[in-house]
Chain A
């Protein structure tokens, strides 16, 4: 099993940290992982993206031109990465950030209204965990157990009290994701 995933959105949406948690989860399940950010001023606003590869075997290039899964959280990201999903691949988008939905028919397109759900949960910070939940529903690249372990491992202890909330967000994401 090898999944090549791109996550893209605005800086501040938690794109890089979502990728990091995903990579850590892979690590917890003893998989090979790479996490390659488009780094720089993007981190301070603008568009941010990160390539995460989770694999049972050695990973060659951390930089790719085609992806198994694209998670796009705003319109520019959709425009950029929709054409780069491999035929038969998966595209997940947030309905709030995207006003021209994807049009490709040779890929599976899913919509996860994570922004709305985060607002409903009155916590904008769990937005990315809702999206991640959606991903794990339609493409279980790691288990929720692995994810939970990753949160314990990667978050400083003072934030461990937030883990149940984050796991709840993951579950919400799994519930609300819809195939288009």
Chain B
């Protein structure tokens, strides 16, 4: 099935309580598949087409604030519209999940694939000092697997989590094994897991207030410090990455998402050419596997960061290796997806010489 369809199937199977979204290419199959599958008749999952991305992210805010597993999806321009709500969710510490099936920008841009929302995703994206957990699937299987993983991480840390995909992974069909079925949580389970949820004050507790507002700067600073401590723990515990043929490699290609699939082929082609290349793929883009990458790069000759943008993740790679070896960037823009041969050529041109 398509990556977008996999998201929809996985959402139903992993006990999602609600999906709220607004159609936009190249991810409309997510809401279309959900509408066709009618999960409200089986698991009781709510599916609602909102009036805008602004509304859908706020429905997510409301649902997450009420302790539910809620999901939305969009593509780049729509995700830009959602940033207000995402910032509020980070501020109020709410565990929602959102999917960005990226397309090229800026502005209305193109409906073709891109990875140009890396900065927006990994730097927060809205106002304030915050981060969302960012998972970058590189296969249809991971589209399916990351829905539950994103929810688990979101609830574990009471923090929004994003699946940063793109038009390639969303539109591509591959073999996929759907995740096991998890029932939706009962009210008791929700009360236990989310004692903070705003779902009606029982006499044994004080009112639960979901808010990101605090006008006293001393208190607000403490709240921010609390968030920063949480982010430190996430950086400590939740880094995920994959490597291929790095052990004997002289050159490392660093790519995420669909670009990592192309990078994998580039490694094959480079090795056929006698060039010892390996692939490093960050799975979590935030937290970024900085320490792990720096460690792996020891003794290597150079790094080529190949991404479908003008050079975004390359900044994180340079920060990670901190000048220890040359780091170059290769990318295509505007909806053009690079092919593996271009990457090998770029590797030779910029690093091997």
Query: Are A and B close enough to touch in the complex, i.e. CB under 8 Å?
Result: yes
Task: Give every chain A residue within 8 A of B53 (Cβ-Cβ).
Answer: none
Closest B residue, CB atoms, query A27: B175
- Asked if B261 contacts A60 (CB within 8 A), the reply is yes
Task: Give every chain A residue within 8 A of B172 (Cβ-Cβ).
Answer: 34-36, 62
The answer to the question of A169 belonging to the interface, with a C-beta cut-off of 8 Å to chain B, is no
The answer to the question of A65 belonging to the interface, with a C-beta cut-off of 8 Å to chain B, is yes
- Asked if A64 contacts B339 (CB within 8 A), the reply is yes
Task: Give every chain B residue within 8 A of A64 (Cβ-Cβ).
Answer: 265, 339-340
Instruction: State the CA gap A59–B342 with chains docked (Å).
Output: 19
Instruction: State the CA gap A59–B171 with chains docked (Å).
Output: 16
Instruction: State the CA gap A39–B266 with chains docked (Å).
Output: 24
Instruction: State the CA gap A33–B2 with chains docked (Å).
Output: 12
The answer to the question of B198 belonging to the interface, with a C-beta cut-off of 8 Å to chain A, is no
Task: Give every chain A residue within 8 A of B337 (Cβ-Cβ).
Answer: 63
Closest B residue, CB atoms, query A40: B111
Closest B residue, CB atoms, query A62: B172
- Asked if B173 contacts A23 (CB within 8 A), the reply is yes
Instruction: State the CA gap A49–B99 with chains docked (Å).
Output: 26
- Asked if B262 contacts A61 (CB within 8 A), the reply is yes
The answer to the question of A111 belonging to the interface, with a C-beta cut-off of 8 Å to chain B, is no
Instruction: State the CA gap A56–B80 with chains docked (Å).
Output: 41
Q: How far is the CB of B346 from chain A (nearest CB, A)?
A: 13
The answer to the question of B112 belonging to the interface, with a C-beta cut-off of 8 Å to chain A, is yes
Task: Give every chain B residue within 8 A of A65 (Cβ-Cβ).
Answer: 339-342
The answer to the question of B25 belonging to the interface, with a C-beta cut-off of 8 Å to chain A, is yes
Closest B residue, CB atoms, query A34: B174
Q: Give residues of chain A (1-44) contacting chain B, Cβ–Cβ below 8 Å.
A: 20, 23, 27, 32-37, 39-40
Interface of B: prevailing SS? helix
The answer to the question of B167 belonging to the interface, with a C-beta cut-off of 8 Å to chain A, is yes
Q: How far is the CB of A93 from chain B (nearest CB, A)?
A: 23
- Asked if A61 contacts B265 (CB within 8 A), the reply is yes
| Number of A positions contacting B (CB below 8 A) | 19
- Asked if A36 contacts B168 (CB within 8 A), the reply is yes
Task: Give every chain B residue within 8 A of A60 (Cβ-Cβ).
Answer: 261-262, 264-265, 267-268, 340
The answer to the question of B63 belonging to the interface, with a C-beta cut-off of 8 Å to chain A, is no
- Asked if B339 contacts A37 (CB within 8 A), the reply is no
- Asked if B26 contacts A39 (CB within 8 A), the reply is yes
Q: A40-B25, A40-B111, A40-B112 are in contact. Are A63 and B174 (CB under 8 A)?
A: no
The answer to the question of A148 belonging to the interface, with a C-beta cut-off of 8 Å to chain B, is no
The answer to the question of A66 belonging to the interface, with a C-beta cut-off of 8 Å to chain B, is yes
Q: How far is the CB of B179 from chain A (nearest CB, A)?
A: 18
Instruction: State the CA gap A40–B172 with chains docked (Å).
Output: 13
Which of B167, B174, B258, B265 makes the CB contact (< 8 A) with A39?
Answer: B167
Task: Give every chain B residue within 8 A of A34 (Cβ-Cβ).
Answer: 172-174
Q: How far is the CB of B13 from chain A (nearest CB, A)?
A: 20
Q: A40-B112, A61-B265 are in contact. Are A33 and B174 (CB under 8 A)?
A: yes
- Asked if B168 contacts A20 (CB within 8 A), the reply is no
Task: Give every chain A residue within 8 A of B264 (Cβ-Cβ).
Answer: 60-61
Task: Give every chain A residue within 8 A of B266 (Cβ-Cβ).
Answer: 61
Q: How far is the CB of A24 from chain B (nearest CB, A)?
A: 9
Interface residues of A, Cβ cutoff 8 Å to B: 20, 23, 27, 32-37, 39-40, 59-66
> Known pairs A60-B267, A61-B263. 15 more at Cβ < 8 A?
A20-B173, A32-B174, A33-B173, A34-B173, A36-B168, A36-B173, A39-B25, A39-B171, A40-B25, A60-B262, A60-B265, A61-B262, A62-B261, A63-B258, A63-B262
Q: Kindly list the 6 A-B residue pairs having the minimum CB-CB distance in the complex, ordered from nearest.
A: A61-B265, A65-B339, A60-B264, A35-B173, A60-B265, A61-B262
A-B contact pairs, 7 of them (CB 8 A): A33-B175, A36-B172, A39-B111, A61-B262, A63-B262, A63-B340, A65-B341
